Amino acid sequence: VEGAFHLSCDDPAVYHAITSSTKKIWEAKFAEAQQIVAEYEKESLCAALAKSESLLWIYSMEHTNTAFETAMSCYMKLEEITIDMNEACKPPSVLSSIGSFFGSTKKISAEEQASMTNNYIETLVALADISGGIAMLLLRSQQRMKAAYRLRKAWKFYQEAYELVMQHEEWNQVIPKDDVKAGEDSESINAVWDNLIKPSPTDESLSGKDLRIRNIVGRLIFGRGLFCYTISMLPKSLQWLVELIGFSSDRKQGLHDVLSATRINPSPRSDWARAALGTIRYFFFDETEQAMSLVEEMLKETENSPMLCMIIAGMYRVEGKIEESSAKYREAYEYAAQVPSYQLTAHYELGHNYFLVGEWEKAAPLIKEYLENSKSPNFKAFGGYKLGVCYWVLEGKDALEKIRPLFNKVINEWKRPRMSYDAYAARHCQKFLDNSAFSELHILFVEIGNFEDAKLFDRGEEKLKQVEHLLASKPHRANEKGLYLYWKGHLLQKTEEHVDALKTFNELVQLYDEIEEDKWIVAYAELESVEIFIKLENFEKAQMVLDQLKKRSGYDFEKHVSMRIKKLQSKISRHSKQ
């Protein structure tokens, strides 16, 4: 095929270059990542894909039109050539002969048949990766229908390639066959984490042929596994996507495939698989200590990765280790020197840490820096709302001239209709504009939520007492009483005072029909009640409350609640079986 790449590439230098390029992506050194594979990208399909992936990462961090067009153009050109190659190397259905109906017949030997099959698998995996990359670009630019079409194509390519590899006597041997399972009912948690925290050793004696097999099969197993698990976890609001793709998910198989991909080494996906499965087990299985050990180990293996610093900084924040979190965000800023857009994100996250602990004067300039300079739509609406809160706390009515245009931007420019936090921020910004002020209760509720998220429970309790005093001093709406009950119950749940937390949440649920604005607090109260019942091993009540929650709709953060419902349903099912 004219303009095609070499398939059957058995030059070890190509695959070593791809491995080195992948490490540079972890370090957010994208120019170096591209330079490493530049020597091979015009000849090797695998190397050209590695370049495309670096362009995808650039767009994900910069979010500029130029970066989008560059990455999309690269993928589209690559796809055009790969489709022709895929057709050219498609093997006959049986080992016989092929040829023109009118011309002479060309005999295909067993060796040629095997070569065609190998090349065909390589092009299938490449086409799947290309469609997956294009889907990610489209999703990030909010083109969801086009992205769904691309995901469907990616899945079909992965499936066809997987079926061929399963029948391939040689390539099938690369996939681990032992009994280590990564499913939700796994009893081999230690074995799973042993595989993740300590990477599989690399056999330095592998030939170019062996390296090629690991490159292709590793990408296939990771792509298929992550696809399976991600689709299985979609909330109800996105089930249309599953139906459009024509996909029946298998969560356990997805987890197992991602675990297998961690052990196909060297492969450009082995470290991504470790990070992906570690993240899944952190968020959905609550295996916090092991997940943090994994990220710390991966930080040792890479040179100053800002992405890994950002990941562990987020974990530290969730655990209430705000100082450690802030230190890692500062490191991420330092290490991302070649990607100013990522530095802005690191500073924004650092600003959020200051926001959580009430250091408004430190939070404000970092959030403002992000809002003024970042090209990404992420965090803009909620960040604008947070900056307005900072201004109000610091300056009061003197800040009105700064807050009004800022909040108008939140409502008219930055709010994305499908984003829960954006809608929540815009609602409160509009309320501020209507009243030219935040109420004393509103600021107290912001502080309480922040302190409880930062696990500064004593400070949160002090603010709750102030709210209690204000509510007792004069009549207030059910909405304000409901917010008080939620944050009180949330604090009791966090400090493991389970009985009192359940009583408080139940009192809140009784107010559901009277609450006008913040109905999300009832959904969150029920989520946390389910978590308590699971801890108390009362799975029948946990299921009853969860079933009640599933019937609710039309509140802020509904998509986030859907994900947590999935997680809790899995927990209940897992514990019930045990």
pLDDT tens digits along 38-95: 989 888 899 999 999 999 999 988 888 999 999 999 999 999 999 999 988 888 753 3
Dig out the tokens for 438 from the structure: 């935040």
Q: How many CB atoms lie within 10 A of CB 243?
A: 9
Asked if residue 158 lies in contact with residue 128, where contact means CB atoms within 8 angstroms, the answer is yes
pLDDT of residue 560: 86
Dig out the tokens for 354 from the structure: 């200051």
Domain ranges of the chain: 12-98+106-327, 439-578
- Residue 482 predicted with pLDDT over 80: yes
pLDDT of residue 1: 42
Picking from 22-31, 175-184, 483-492, 499-508, which range would have the lowest pLDDT averaged per residue? 175-184
pLDDT digits (tens, 9 = 90+) for 332-379: 999 999 999 999 999 999 999 999 999 999 999 999 999 999 999 999
- Residue 541 predicted with pLDDT over 80: yes
pLDDT of residue 3: 55
- Residue 575 predicted with pLDDT over 80: no
Instruction: Please state, in angstroms and rounded to a whole number, the distance separating the CA atoms of residues 561 and 235.
Output: 9
pLDDT digits (tens, 9 = 90+) for 249-303: 677 788 888 888 988 988 999 889 888 888 888 887 778 888 888 888 888 888 7
Instruction: Please state, in angstroms and rounded to a whole number, the distance separating the CA atoms of residues 26 and 268.
Output: 11
Average pLDDT rounded to a whole number, residues 212-232: 88
* Residues of the chain above pLDDT 70, percent: 90
Q: Which amino acid is at 40?
A: Y
Prior bond of 340 cis (ω within 30°): no
* Residues of the chain above pLDDT 90, percent: 60
- Residue 493 predicted with pLDDT over 90: yes
Dig out the tokens for 114 from the structure: 């095997």
Asked if residue 110 lies in contact with residue 95, where contact means CB atoms within 8 angstroms, the answer is yes
Instruction: Please state, in angstroms and rounded to a whole number, the distance separating the CA atoms of residues 23 and 21.
Output: 5
Instruction: Please state, in angstroms and rounded to a whole number, the distance separating the CA atoms of residues 370 and 349.
Output: 10
Prior bond of 266 cis (ω within 30°): yes
Burial category of 100 from C-beta neighbours within 10 Å (exposed 0-12, middle 13-18, buried 19 and up): exposed
pLDDT of residue 418: 81
CATH architecture of structural domain 439-578:
Alpha Horseshoe (1.25)
Instruction: Please state, in angstroms and rounded to a whole number, the distance separating the CA atoms of residues 433 and 235.
Output: 33
Residue 46 gets which letter from DSSP? Answer: H
- Residue 402 predicted with pLDDT over 90: yes
Residues 6 or more apart whose Cβ sits within 8 Å of residue 167 = none
- Its pTM stands at 0.87
Asked if residue 517 lies in contact with residue 500, where contact means CB atoms within 8 angstroms, the answer is no
Residues 6 or more apart whose Cβ sits within 8 Å of residue 375 = 62, 63, 64, 341
pLDDT of residue 383: 97
Sign of CA dihedral 499, 500, 501, 503: positive
> With bands split at pLDDT 50, 70 and 90, how would you rate the model's confidence at 229?
confident
Which residue carries 């230098």 as its tokens? 13
Asked if residue 525 lies in contact with residue 489, where contact means CB atoms within 8 angstroms, the answer is yes
Q: Which amino acid is at 461?
A: E
H or E element that contains 40: none
Instruction: Please state, in angstroms and rounded to a whole number, the distance separating the CA atoms of residues 471 and 560.
Output: 30
Asked if residue 152 lies in contact with residue 138, where contact means CB atoms within 8 angstroms, the answer is no
Instruction: Please state, in angstroms and rounded to a whole number, the distance separating the CA atoms of residues 34 and 21.
Output: 7
DSSP assignment of 250-292: -HHHHHHHHHHHHTS-S-TTHHHHHHHHHHHHHHHH--HHHHH
Residue 199 gets which letter from DSSP? Answer: P
Instruction: Please state, in angstroms and rounded to a whole number, the distance separating the CA atoms of residues 46 and 292.
Output: 32
Instruction: Please state, in angstroms and rounded to a whole number, the distance separating the CA atoms of residues 472 and 268.
Output: 61
pLDDT of residue 9: 74
Asked if residue 99 lies in contact with residue 105, where contact means CB atoms within 8 angstroms, the answer is yes
- Residue 96 predicted with pLDDT over 80: no
